[in-house]
C-alpha cells in the first residue's frame, strides 16, 4: 500500500509544462503492468495517463477553492451564498450518499456556476480495492451528477487523499483526473475561523488548490472562516475559480 506523495512528470489536460512549472503540477504516470487496450494490430495501446493534480502554474492571481463531503443542508447553502456574494467560483466534490438525499443542493451548485466533482458514493478509501469495486464506488455518483447537472464529472477527490497505483490506474481508465491540494485548511479539526482563514491567507499562492469541507461534520467554523477569507482574497486581487477554470488559465509552453 502506498500513501501518495504526488510526484511530478509529464503534462496534463493537453497542456505541456516547462521544467519550472512542472514543480507546481503533480501528475503521476503509474506503470502497473495492467496493460492498455489492444490496438487493431494486436499490440497494447499506450495506457491512459494517470493524472494527479496538486496545483497549477498560472500567469495570474487565481486560486481554486474546493469543498468535500457535501452536500449538506446545514452548510452548503450558506457557503454557496458567500461564494456568490464575493464573485467566487468553486469545485464541490460530492459524496454520493449525500447527493441522493439532497439532489436539489447539487442542482443549486451547478446553477450558480460551480463545478461538481466525484468524491465516491460511500466516501471510501480506494486503497486495496480491485477495479470492479472501484467502479461500483465511482460510477453511481457519476451517473447522478450527470443526470442532475447535464455534465459528466471528470475530476475525482480521493477520500483522505489515500490511494495506491492500482486504484489510480482504475480512475484513469474511468476518465478521471485526481485532484489533490497544496493548501489544507484542516477545517475538519477543532480550529477557530480565524485560524482557518489566517492559514489560507499565509499559504495560498497563484495556482493553489485549497481544500475545505461543506459536509461530514460541524462546518460552522468553515462558514465563519469564509466570511473572513473571501473578501481578503478579493482585495488581494485573486480570482477564485473552479479547478477546471484554473487549468484553462494554466501557463503552456512550446
What gap in Å lies between CA 249 and CA 220, rounded to an integer? 32
Residues 81-128 have pLDDT tens digits of 999 999 999 999 999 999 999 999 999 999 999 999 999 999 999 999
Grid cell digits, residue 46: 499506450
- Which backbone phi and psi does 118 adopt, to 5 degrees? -100, 130
Candidates 73, 30, 50, 32; CA nearest to 178 is: 50
Q: For the chain, what is the mean pLDDT? A: 86
Phi, psi (deg, nearest 5) at residue 138: -95, -45
CA dist 173 and 193 (Å) reads: 39
Residues in the chain where the model's pLDDT stays below 50: 1-42, 254
Q: Which residue among the candidates 68, 69, 164, 214 is catalytic per the annotation?
A: 68
- d(CA 153, CA 232) in angstroms, rounded, equals 30
Catalytic: which of 69, 119, 199, 213?
A: 213
Quick one: pLDDT at residue 46? 64
- Report the pLDDT value the prediction gives residue 1, as an integer from 0 to 100: 32
Name, in order, each residue with C-beta under 8 angstroms of 20's C-beta and a sequence gap of 6 or more. 57
Nearest to 57 by CA among 231, 252, 193: 252
Catalytic (active site) residue 213: yes
- Residue 31's pLDDT is 33
**Alpha helix locations (H) across 28-124?**
76-85, 96-99, 103-111
Closest CA to 7 of 25, 31, 21, 32: 25
CA pseudo-torsion sign 103, 104, 105, 108: positive
68 is catalytic: yes
Question: Shortest CA distance to 157 belongs to which of 53, 2, 30, 48?
Answer: 53
Percent over 90 (pLDDT), the chain: 77
pLDDT at 12: 38
In this predicted structure, what is the pLDDT of residue 240?
Answer: 98
Q: How far apart are the first and last CA of the chain?
A: 37
Listed residue (51, 46, 48, 47) closest to 17, CA to CA: 51
Cα dihedral 183, 201, 207, 245 in deg (nearest 10):
100
Q: What's the rounded Cα separation, in Å, for the pair 141 and 122? A: 10
CATH code assigned to 19-32+47-248: 3.20.20.370
Amino acid at each position: 500500500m502506498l500513501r501518495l506523495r504526488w510526484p511530478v512528470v509529464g503534462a496534463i489536460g493537453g497542456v505541456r509544462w516547462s521544467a519550472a512549472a512542472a514543480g507546481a503540477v503533480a501528475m503521476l504516470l503509474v506503470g502497473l503492468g495492467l496493460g492498455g487496450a489492444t490496438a487493431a494490430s494486436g499490440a497494447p495501446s499506450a495506457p491512459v495517463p494517470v493524472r494527479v493534480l496538486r496545483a497549477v502554474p498560472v500567469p495570474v492571481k487565481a486560486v481554486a477553492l474546493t469543498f468535500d463531503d457535501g452536500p449538506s443542508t446545514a452548510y452548503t447553502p450558506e457557503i454557496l451564498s458567500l461564494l456568490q456574494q464575493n464573485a467566487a467560483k468553486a469545485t464541490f466534490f460530492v459524496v454520493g450518499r449525500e447527493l441522493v438525499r439532497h439532489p436539489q443542493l447539487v442542482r443549486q451548485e451547478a446553477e450558480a456556476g460551480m463545478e461538481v466533482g466525484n468524491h465516491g458514493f460511500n466516501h471510501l478509501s480506494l486503497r486495496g480495492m480491485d477495479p470492479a469495486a472501484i467502479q461500483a464506488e465511482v460510477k453511481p455518483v457519476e451517473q447522478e451528477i450527470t443526470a442532475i447537472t447535464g455534465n459528466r464529472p471528470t475530476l475525482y477527490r480521493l477520500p483522505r487523499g489515500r490511494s495506491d497505483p492500482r486504484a489510480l490506474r482504475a480512475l484513469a481508465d474511468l476518465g478521471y483526473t485526481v485532484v489533490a491540494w497544496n493548501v489544507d485548511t484542516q477545517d475538519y479539526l477543532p480550529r477557530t475561523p480565524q485560524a482557518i482563514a489566517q492559514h489560507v491567507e499565509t499559504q495560498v499562492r497563484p495556482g493553489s488548490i485549497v481544500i475545505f469541507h461543506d459536509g461530514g461534520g460541524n462546518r460552522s467554523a468553515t462558514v465563519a472562516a469564509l466570511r473572513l477569507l473571501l473578501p481578503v482574497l478579493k482585495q488581494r486581487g485573486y480570482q477564485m475559480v473552479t479547478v477546471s477554470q484554473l487549468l484553462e488559465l494554466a501557463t503552456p509552453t512550446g
